Chains A and B, each alone.
Chain A
Amino acid sequence: NAGVTQTPKFQVLKTGQSMTLQCAQDMNHNSMYWYRQDPGMGLRLIYYSASEGTTDKGEVPNGYNVSRLNKREFSLRLESAAPSQTSVYFCASSGGSPGGNIQYFGAGTRLSVL
């Protein structure tokens, strides 16, 4: 039961470097999400994808890009990392029909930007 798998688990970057966070789900879910978690701020939605081939901005999209590679995979890219992007990043997915379906979360990627 893999569920939602995120890689890497930890990463340290220097300001200006780029990286891609990977996410894959094996539950045949249509929708996928990227969140960041910061102390005292809960989880904030960065980008989401309602279905394969579509992506939309969430609450805090600046400085990020995403790719919905196929139904299973949804990646998050930082083109030029900044210290303000130091955070814990979570990927989630949810099933087909709307109306209360839950989101399943990965274990997170802990990113530090120096």
Chain B
Amino acid sequence: AQSVTQLGSHVSVSEGALVLLRCNYSSSVPPYLFWYVQYPNQGLQLLLKYTSAATLVKGINGFEAEFKKSETSFHLTKPSAHMSDAAEYFCAVRVYGGATNKLIFGTGTLLAVQP
């Protein structure tokens, strides 16, 4: 079975500091991995996705993630946090097989950015 684990349900950084949100996956097949962001009282929107091309994936708003097979990780980073980055972030893995793009989500990491 496939799964993702997000370490740290709450992360707090200062404005301008590095953002690092951790995600580890479990999959018996090469995974497709995603990071979504949810701003308060809104739906989820895609930040970036990994689909077996380049291991370093760049997304919107300056975020990027690196796929590391040896560590089964897909951590999300941003060099310099902005107040507008405060949101909840979800890592997800596509379920292998079938005719849809079903996803399994992690439990989320709430990012707070302090001035």
A residues touching B (Cβ–Cβ < 8 Å)? 4, 30-31, 33, 40-45, 48, 50-51, 58, 90, 92, 94, 98-103, 105-108
The docked-state distance in angstroms from the alpha carbon of A48 to that of B34 is: 19
Q: How large is the interface on B (under 10, 10 to 19, 20 to 34, 35 or more residues)?
A: 20 to 34
B94 engages A33 (CB within 8 Å): no
**Residue in chain B with minimal CB distance to A41:** B107
B residues touching A (Cβ–Cβ < 8 Å)? 9, 32, 34, 36, 41-46, 49, 51, 90, 94, 98-103, 105-108
B99 engages A31 (CB within 8 Å): yes
**Residue in chain B with minimal CB distance to A102:** B46
A43 engages B105 (CB within 8 Å): yes
The docked-state distance in angstroms from the alpha carbon of A45 to that of B105 is: 9
B43 engages A94 (CB within 8 Å): no
Q: Which 4 A-B pairs have the closest CB atoms?
A: A100-B51, A105-B43, A42-B105, A31-B100
B98 engages A50 (CB within 8 Å): yes
- Closest chain-A Cβ to B51's Cβ sits at a distance in Å of 4
B45 engages A105 (CB within 8 Å): yes
A102 engages B90 (CB within 8 Å): no
22 contacts between A and B (CB under 8 A): A4-B43, A30-B99, A31-B100, A40-B107, A40-B108, A42-B105, A43-B90, A48-B100, A50-B100, A90-B44, A92-B44, A98-B100, A98-B101, A99-B32, A100-B94, A103-B44, A103-B46, A105-B43, A106-B43, A107-B41, A108-B41, A108-B43
